[in-house]
Structure 1
């Protein structure tokens, strides 16, 4: 399946530069009052703002429409830009559900009070690592950061991002600095190690002359052809390529960083229900569906991501999330993307 998993871009800064807009748009000109206690007032439609691309999830949202019995209207876009739009719209928004590509955008909305608390049943379906501490969003699929390597040229692949600053790998590492997943990784490192340590790593990494690519797919292609010996990507790019071309045809292989390493970050795509929705019951049904066995199997089989609920296993024989040892990071704190972008600009990476 084609992915079209785009980067955040400079407009992502808007998510945190507009916090004062979180309270705008209320009053008589705002959206109708909360009708969650009045079933008769429930809307017969569900408006979804989706940071997940149409080619990835359109079939799944068709199934969601059947599961909820409501007409689903979808607005697609970049997750950070949609989060900024939701902050600007405030109570006037027509959105009922936000389906984000990453936890950071959900964290920004939660921080600004734009998300309703989810039912405990939905929260309990997912490990607490992959949901908001305040219960305002829940992850529905996960993706692990990995180090891709060319198996012909690399016999002992690194297991830590710290290794990528060593002279051994000078000019041999590919990465996509404008991509959302790399920026989320850097934000995670900031949360784990602090800004000074992260700034130092970026400086050393940049000095090691890594190869710059626009997208993760291009990074993987470069590793597979030997143009780059190593590459920083998300795991599913390799599994997508292996499903299309055949694993035996690939020279690229994956190294999952050691437990607790910043490079072992597992980020999530997740959902939150907007406050002031007039389709609260329907939105809750939608969240339940996305955590159901049917939807979780879709993520496992079609997008090659980690299913996070319903006890679904991946056909890709992925390492378990427990064995990966993702660092203990509050994923909601990945919302501080504006600081990360400033840091990347200082380092000359974007």
Structure 2
């Protein structure tokens, strides 16, 4: 039995799939609400139909999934891109003896759907491209405690404080630079607001990974300092829709510096060869806010009624096979102990000087969107 993908109803607005963990897609601009659950619900309303599918479609797919007698069934709500993870989902299905149904969409929107569904949710596992969405569900009491043996596979920095979600793969924020025009590369994102960089910094303000980084900066440095920095960056920078476009602009010399996730550079090098790529990347030292390491991760839904199958899926995603897949195919950092990346030139994860932050606190996206509006970025 292959992986089942539930489509949106005919004519419904389709939820944008991950597009490289939805980091390439502009984030929605919901109205400001108080409280995480309300904020995520606001994100949900325009896309609920696209995430769900009609009852007849669901029943038909469920019947198809049940044809393989004796197999467990698991519904995954995935904020990670279908093209990116469908190969590993297929391997998960085979390794665990589980029939898997996947619904793809934006992580924040799927988290909002889970909150809306409550104890009626059909999902057994939430696979988020961002720790913030997992933190929101944890805060709302929607995630089940994970077995200690599963938690112990991942450093405490990359799992939930309530022991109810765990990171699967990691990505570091970096500064991409063009050696021909950048000169000495800054060691802090705060240096990017200096007059010397006016018109020379590329960034993607509507991008999910940029917004997660700004959320981290808010948590670490406070609202006022972050707003001041955002205004300074806007005065100096050039905006792009995607991380990939930022890197291309640096590579071509259109800008000297750019804010991206590390794997974009490694993917470009793997595709073209390092000698064909002008841009380089700089991992920031000193626990700078710009060196945030975010995690894609998973949590078992408390109300999904699929706990056993979901826990097997968690353990598979932390297995050597799955972790090697993320290391080699997506150029992300494997987070399970005992597995290291073999990507040429990629610094070891434990060598990075990332800021100390509870990744679950990245759930406060709504406040970040408000701050970006104040700065005139969205």
The TM-score normalised by the length of structure 2 is 0.84
Q: Tell me if the contact between 1:18 and 1:88 (Cα under 8 Å) persists in the aligned partners.
A: no
Distance 1:197 1:92, change over 3 A: same
Which residue in the other structure is 2:156 paired with? 128
State the secondary structure of the residue aligned to 1:136.
coil
Which residue in the other structure is 1:78 paired with? 106
Distance 1:66 1:252, change over 3 A: same
Alignment partner of 1:44 is 2:72: yes
Alignment partner of 1:193 is 2:239: no
Which residue in the other structure is 2:140 paired with? 112
CA deviations over 1:176-226 (Å, ceiling 9, x no partner): 000010000100001101111111111222222x11000000000000000
Q: How does 1:246-285 map to 2 (within 5 A)?
A: 246-285=273-312
* CA-based RMSD: 1.8
1:266 CA displacement: 0.1
State the secondary structure of the residue aligned to 2:92.
helix
1:258 CA displacement: 1.2
Distance 1:20 1:183, change over 3 A: closer
1:43 CA displacement: 7.8
Q: Tell me if the contact between 1:4 and 1:55 (Cα under 8 Å) persists in the aligned partners.
A: no
Which residue in the other structure is 1:9 paired with? 28
Q: How does 1:31-180 map to 2 (within 5 A)?
A: 44-180=72-208
1:147 CA displacement: 0.2
Q: Which stretch shows the higher mean deviation, 176-185 or 199-208?
A: 199-208
Q: Tell me if the contact between 1:43 and 1:278 (Cα under 8 Å) persists in the aligned partners.
A: no
Which residue in the other structure is 1:214 paired with? 241
1:17 CA displacement: 4.9
- Give the distance between the partners of 1:3 and 1:114, measured in 2 at CA: 26
Pick the aligned partner of 1:204 from 225, 229, 232.
232
The TM-score normalised by the length of structure 1 is 0.90
Q: Tell me if the contact between 2:32 and 2:39 (Cα under 8 Å) persists in the aligned partners.
A: no
1:3 CA displacement: 3.6
Q: Tell me if the contact between 1:147 and 1:232 (Cα under 8 Å) persists in the aligned partners.
A: yes
- Give the distance between the partners of 1:12 and 1:87, measured in 2 at CA: 18
CA deviations over 1:130-176 (Å, ceiling 9, x no partner): 11111010000000000000122123111210110001110100000
- Give the distance between the partners of 1:76 and 1:53, measured in 2 at CA: 7
1:311 CA displacement: 1.6
State the secondary structure of the residue aligned to 1:268.
strand
**Which runs of 5 or more structure 2 residues have no equivalent in the other structure?**
1-18, 42-69
- Give the distance between the partners of 2:21 and 2:169, measured in 1 at CA: 17
Q: Bigger relative contact order, structure 1 or 2, given CA contacts below 8 A and separation 6+?
A: 1
Q: How does 1:326-345 map to 2 (within 5 A)?
A: 326-345=354-373
Q: How does 1:15-34 map to 2 (within 5 A)?
A: 16-18=36-38
State the secondary structure of the residue aligned to 1:49.
strand
State the secondary structure of the residue aligned to 1:46.
strand
State the secondary structure of the residue aligned to 2:95.
helix
- Give the distance between the partners of 2:151 and 2:342, measured in 1 at CA: 25
Which residue in the other structure is 1:325 paired with? 353
Q: Tell me if the contact between 1:150 and 1:252 (Cα under 8 Å) persists in the aligned partners.
A: yes
Alignment partner of 1:291 is 2:310: no
- Give the distance between the partners of 2:30 and 2:152, measured in 1 at CA: 34
Aligned length: 328
- Give the distance between the partners of 2:349 and 2:31, measured in 1 at CA: 28
- Give the distance between the partners of 1:254 and 1:198, measured in 2 at CA: 23
- Give the distance between the partners of 2:281 and 2:329, measured in 1 at CA: 20
Q: Tell me if the contact between 2:32 and 2:370 (Cα under 8 Å) persists in the aligned partners.
A: no
